[in-house]
Structure 1
Amino acid sequence: MKKPTIKDVARLAGVSFKTVSRVVNKEASVSDSVRERVNECIKQLNYQPNRTARTMRKAPFSLAFVYDNPNSHYVIEMQNGIISQCRENGFELVIHPTDSRSEEVGKELAAMIGSSQIGGVILTPPLSENRELVTFLIGQQAKVVRILSGSEPPDNLAPVVYVDDVAAAQTLTSHLLSQGHTSIGFIGFNDSHESSRGRLKGFTQAHLERGLSVNKNLILDGEFTFESGMEMTRILMESDNKPTAIVACNDEIAAGAVFQARILNYQIPEDLSVAGFENSPFAIQTWPHLTTIDQPNVQIAAAAAKLVINMMQKPDTEHISSAGFTLNLIERDSVTCLTQ
């Protein structure tokens, strides 16, 4: 049988082929009733849009996910969240890892935008924290959405999907304090990441809220990796001022902490309680399973994609909207009440 064409769909739906094209391309200038009728005809005929013809359109139909993050779990979840919105709205996704420290990152992204029909860009930390880069990309006529740590958008430069790391870390630390732990280590701090600074701030606020001071000797800088978690835990547990609990900046660090504690013959959680952050696979692959903060990366990424697609479909909209996420505590077996 002959492959159905856009004109076959138009004839069956009783509309022009341009109207079918508008429906296929998710343009806003079509009534809901017409859109529903055309989509039903597309489904009935099993019509597949011509990808080459879409490439010839002047309007961009792709968006880019740009990141500099070694955490493969984070990246995959972000991709899945963005792809869900792309498929729903007929957009393509370009996945672009880059070096946020490179002086050429702006030119690199400008070349990508110009060659790939990209109209929207989703930036994750630390790229999203670079105001100069965001301003540059906006100057390249790209619609930009930033995923940032915070309790509200920091400015009106571009839309933000913000994640409240401060409140989450405060909730997590308060939970440990309520279990009798007053000597708590904080591992994985990295001053170049806003999320890390936010988590340390929440950690500190939880102590101050109870009239307690923070022992700075128990705060260690490190990377968001398993190996770094091992090394920081070794330093803490071989010191004269051993903590009874550890808050790690992510679950991978926490998993490394649990592994190293066992090497040093400490039982988890009897001798040392360990809590993570993000609720990644490490949280349930580690034994005992980690108490952690649930960071719904798929939903966060989907919210960012929805914002940028809306901006691409309605380019004349002046209002800049944003979306926020409050993170929840998940209690598991890696934390226990400290017996006096």
Structure 2
Amino acid sequence: MTTYDDDIEAFIKSRKKATINDVARLARLSKKTVSRVINASPSVRAETRDQVNAVIDRIGFRPDPQARGLAFRRSFLIGLIYDNPNAQYVVNMQLGALDALRGSGTELVLHPCDRHSDQFIKDIRDFIELQRLAGVIVLPPISEDKRLLGLLEDLKTPYVRVSALHPATTKGGHAILSKERIGCRAAGEHLAQLGHTRIGFIAGPDGYLSASERRAGFREGLQAHGLDIEPALEVQGDYTLESGHAAALRLLTSDTRPTALFAGNDEMAIGAYKAAFGLGLRIPDDLSICGYDDSPMAERVYPPLTTVHLPTRDMARAAVLTLLRSEGAPEDALIFESALVVRQSTAKV
């Protein structure tokens, strides 16, 4: 009679693709028990779970996600749906989601979309129905789109929306919200305390709640020191590096060149770095620059960028855990703080 190890070694040498039946036979357990282990059932004893996982690891078995989906009448996929020009923000959200999904047996599917398209809602409906998603995470600004949220409700698709904290976004559950005004208020106060009075502002795009909240917070910080956002020193960007560069060039070549700039995100702030360098301006000696997001690039540029830290990766982790824990049932909104991180790109006038 062959031993347990002999059977496994013989299977490995056969170079066959492992199936759940092979796992059950080699573990000397029922297929039903193996299935419970694979799907993390709490009813399985620890020693049985270890026995099955040891066989799975040795023979290289990988569960078939389609078969799993048929068995449970849903896929083990979570969608990340976005229409956002800030590439680093999307990457951070993706990384945070993957952190939370690791080891869960559920995978992440990315779905960029175009909210301005006539096919916007149909496109997302088709994506959700084709993939038979277990849930979705919706990033701003489409997380504030009532048509999309209505679609998710109609499809009974569990979802979590990520957005800036605002009275309009606190209604109902499914929300991961960030206090964006607080960090921006601190940024306005910081530049004012350094003695700057001509402060340029590069705003985010129209239609983004985050852009209006950041502007409001920054303005509050300036007003606390008797200043305000001057219309002549405000230019709108679209959260891209290129728009930050163009906006900064416009401000820095004006007759009333500012001594400091606040950009609505780090991408635009780095665009302002590029504009300043091209004009021969030194940061922070000739120009202080402050951004928003605290993306990885903030510490990699020189001088390191003063910016507002938004915990995007933690927010994405929380969104996934909310879906896994509650399958999208409404819960109280989770609220995250923002905070100013002072580095070397800002200095006294």
| 1:306 corresponding residue in structure 2 | 321
| 1:56 corresponding residue in structure 2 | 70
**1:273 CA displacement:** 0.3
**1:38 CA displacement:** 4.1
| 2:134 corresponding residue in structure 1 | 119
Going from structure 1 to structure 2, the CA distance change for 1:213 and 1:114 (only over 3 Å counts) comes to closer
Going from structure 1 to structure 2, the CA distance change for 1:82 and 1:159 (only over 3 Å counts) comes to same
User: What is the CA deviation profile of residues 145-203 of structure 1, one whole-angstrom value per residue up to 9, with x for unaligned ones?
Assistant: 00101167824444111111111111112111111112211103322111111110001
| 1:323 corresponding residue in structure 2 | 334
| 2:144 corresponding residue in structure 1 | 129
Contact in 2 for aligned 1:7/1:17 (Cα 8 Å): no
| 1:192 corresponding residue in structure 2 | 207
Going from structure 1 to structure 2, the CA distance change for 1:244 and 1:43 (only over 3 Å counts) comes to same
SS in structure 1 of the partner of residue 308 of structure 2: strand
User: What is the CA deviation profile of residues 266-290 of structure 1, one whole-angstrom value per residue up to 9, with x for unaligned ones?
Assistant: 2211111001111223323322111
| 2:257 corresponding residue in structure 1 | 242
**5+ long unaligned stretches in structure 1:** none
Among 262, 279, 287, the alignment partner of 1:264 is 279
SS in structure 2 of the partner of residue 174 of structure 1: helix
Structure 2 distance, partners of 1:35, 1:118, is 30
**1:250 CA displacement:** 1.2
Aligned pairs for 1:276-295 (under 5 A) are 276-295=291-310
Structure 1 distance, partners of 2:28, 2:333, is 37
**1:5 CA displacement:** 3.8
User: What is the CA deviation profile of residues 266-319 of structure 1, one whole-angstrom value per residue up to 9, with x for unaligned ones?
Assistant: 22111110011112233233221111112232221111111122232xx7xx55
Contact in 1 for aligned 2:144/2:163 (Cα 8 Å): yes
Contact in 1 for aligned 2:74/2:133 (Cα 8 Å): no
| 1:42 corresponding residue in structure 2 | 52
Cα RMSD for the two superposed structures: 2.4
- Give the TM-score taking structure 2 as reference length: 0.86
Contact in 2 for aligned 1:251/1:278 (Cα 8 Å): yes
Contact in 2 for aligned 1:67/1:97 (Cα 8 Å): yes
| 1:332 corresponding residue in structure 2 | 343
Are residue 297 (structure 1) and residue 315 (structure 2) matched? no
Contact in 2 for aligned 1:230/1:253 (Cα 8 Å): yes
| 1:207 corresponding residue in structure 2 | 222
Structure 2 distance, partners of 1:10, 1:59, is 27
What residue identity is the alignment partner of 2:335? G
Going from structure 1 to structure 2, the CA distance change for 1:55 and 1:319 (only over 3 Å counts) comes to closer
Going from structure 1 to structure 2, the CA distance change for 1:61 and 1:268 (only over 3 Å counts) comes to same
User: What is the CA deviation profile of residues 99-133 of structure 1, one whole-angstrom value per residue up to 9, with x for unaligned ones?
Assistant: 01123222111111222121201100111010221
Structure 2 distance, partners of 1:307, 1:10, is 37
Count how many residue pairs are aligned between Structure 1 and Structure 2: 329
Are residue 173 (structure 1) and residue 184 (structure 2) matched? no
Contact in 1 for aligned 2:174/2:330 (Cα 8 Å): no
**1:243 CA displacement:** 1.4
Contact in 2 for aligned 1:247/1:275 (Cα 8 Å): yes
**1:336 CA displacement:** 0.6
| 1:183 corresponding residue in structure 2 | 198
What residue identity is the alignment partner of 2:273? V
Larger radius of gyration: 2
Structure 2 distance, partners of 1:35, 1:208, is 62
**5+ long unaligned stretches in structure 2:** 1-9, 12-17
Among 250, 275, 288, the alignment partner of 1:273 is 288
SS in structure 2 of the partner of residue 89 of structure 1: coil
Structure 1 distance, partners of 2:22, 2:334, is 40
Percent identity over paired residues: 32
Contact in 2 for aligned 1:119/1:141 (Cα 8 Å): no
What residue identity is the alignment partner of 1:213? D
- Give the TM-score taking structure 1 as reference length: 0.88
Contact in 2 for aligned 1:81/1:301 (Cα 8 Å): yes
Structure 1 distance, partners of 2:45, 2:218, is 51
Going from structure 1 to structure 2, the CA distance change for 1:287 and 1:159 (only over 3 Å counts) comes to same
Going from structure 1 to structure 2, the CA distance change for 1:116 and 1:261 (only over 3 Å counts) comes to same
SS in structure 2 of the partner of residue 99 of structure 1: coil
Structure 2 distance, partners of 1:19, 1:324, is 40
| 1:216 corresponding residue in structure 2 | 231
SS in structure 2 of the partner of residue 197 of structure 1: helix
**1:228 CA displacement:** 1.5
Contact in 2 for aligned 1:135/1:157 (Cα 8 Å): no
